[in-house]
Amino acid sequence: MVLLLLLMMMMRRRRRKKKKKKKKKKMMIVVVVVVTTTTTMMILIMIMRFELN
């Protein structure tokens, strides 16, 4: 998870230099948020299952 965040930060820094691509930044941020939320939910579900068992 930390590595993914670092990669996204690097990508954001690289994209800041190019001012023409503004709409894609928002889309990437939305995708990242969705992916992180889904992964966290899956992890929580797995933890709950292990605890129940």
- The model's pLDDT over 24-47, given as tens digits with 9 standing for 90+, comes to 677 788 888 888 999 999 999 998
pTM of this structure: 0.42
Residue 1 near residue 40 (C-beta atoms within 8 A): no
Residue 42 near residue 25 (C-beta atoms within 8 A): no
Per domain, the residue ranges of the chain are 28-53
State the pLDDT at residue 5: 67
Encoded amino acid at 12, one letter: R
